[in-house]
Amino acid sequence: KAGVTQTPRYLIKTRGQQVTLSCSPISGHRSVSWYQQTPGQGLQFLFEYFSETQRNKGNFPGRFSGRQFSNSRSEMNVSTLELGDSALYLCASRSGGTKNTEAFFGQGTRLTVV
Amino acid sequence: GQQLNQSPQSMFIQEGEDVSMNCTSSSIFNTWLWYKQDPGEGPVLLIALYKAGELTSNGRLTAQFGITRKDSFLNISASIPSDVGIYFCAGQLTPGTASKLTFGTGTRLQVTL
């Protein structure tokens, strides 16, 4: 069974630009969550999508948005990039059922804003 | 954003030694997860705990869900060089449905031969 796939692995953008990151969850998983990891703030929850609907959101500005497609693949978009958005962006896949389920992470996308 | 208190922050141990680390929270969680992260990679799930007081093993790893539901512990026995990395605890409040993970600050483990 393939794991969680995130593309691209590395990205360099200029301040003010926008960026789109992609995540393909484990086959059969319907929940995709996004996290931002920085040395200063650690791992912080951005949002979760389940069956194409955002059902939980962290404390990030509106410049951070996402969506989920019918095949459960998810994209995350950051507009008007700031230097502080440089981070490792991680996607987590869960089955999303009613029982407690573990979250499995992709390798992440390393975003550098210059 | 919120982070759980994890200690120690870093450890430098010799190969073959046992390792203990813990994670504490001011609020209750329904699930505790332990992850290991290598540089430049995503966290890899090690152990999941679902019940207060639960003790679960995965090879040389043993983790416990504290009875207060506000803490968790991870032990690694007979450490080996490949145990090097950063270990994170994560708490999940809502079972199954809408949920998010709150992560600890991490414990950096370094192993010498």
Most A CBs within 10 Å, among B23, B51, B94, B100, to test the A interface: B100
Residue A98, phi then psi, degrees to nearest 5: -80, -15
In the numeric block, which tokens belong to residue B101?
Answer: 């993970």
C-alpha–C-alpha distance, residues B47 and B63, integer Å:
7
C-alpha–C-alpha distance, residues B43 and A79, integer Å:
26
**pLDDT tens for each residue of chain A, 114 residues long:** 579 999 999 999 999 999 999 999 999 999 999 999 999 899 999 999 999 999 889 999 999 999 999 999 999 999 999 999 999 999 999 887 656 678 899 999 999 999
CA distance B56 to chain A (A): 14
Q: Which member of A45, A58, A105 has the closest CB to residue B42? A: A105
Q: Which of A76, A64, A70, A69 is nearest to A106 (CA)?
A: A76
CA distance A65 to chain B (A): 16
Chain B residue at shortest CA distance from A99:
B96
Q: Give the position of tokens 């059922």.
A: A97
Q: Which member of B99, B100, B105 has the closest CB to residue A42? A: B105
Number of neighbouring beta carbons within 10 Å of residue B68: 11
**pLDDT tens for each residue of chain B, 113 residues long:** 778 999 999 999 999 999 999 999 998 998 999 999 998 899 999 999 999 999 999 999 999 999 999 999 999 999 999 999 999 999 987 655 556 889 999 999 998 87
User: What three-state secondary structure class fits A84?
Assistant: helix
C-alpha–C-alpha distance, residues A96 and A53, integer Å:
12
Taking the mean position of all CA atoms in its chain, how far away is CA B54? 14
C-alpha–C-alpha distance, residues B75 and B63, integer Å:
6
Query: Does residue B3 belong to the interface with chain A, where contact is any CB pair within 8 Å?
Result: yes
CB contact under 8 A, A103 and B102: no
CA distance A23 to chain B (A): 13
C-alpha–C-alpha distance, residues B107 and A100, integer Å:
25
pLDDT given for residue B39 in this prediction: 87
C-alpha–C-alpha distance, residues B4 and B104, integer Å:
4
Contact B90, A37 (CB under 8 A): no
In the numeric block, which tokens belong to residue B71?
Answer: 């803490």
pLDDT given for residue A96 in this prediction: 72
> B70-80: per-residue pLDDT in tens?
999 999 999 99
CA distance A10 to chain B (A): 10
Chain A residue at shortest CA distance from B86:
A42
Pairs of CB atoms within 8 A across A/B: 79
DSSP A43-108: EEEEEEEETTEEEEE-S--TTEEEEE-TTS-EEEEE-S--GGG-EEEEEEEE---SS----EE---
The residues facing B47 across adjacent strands are B34
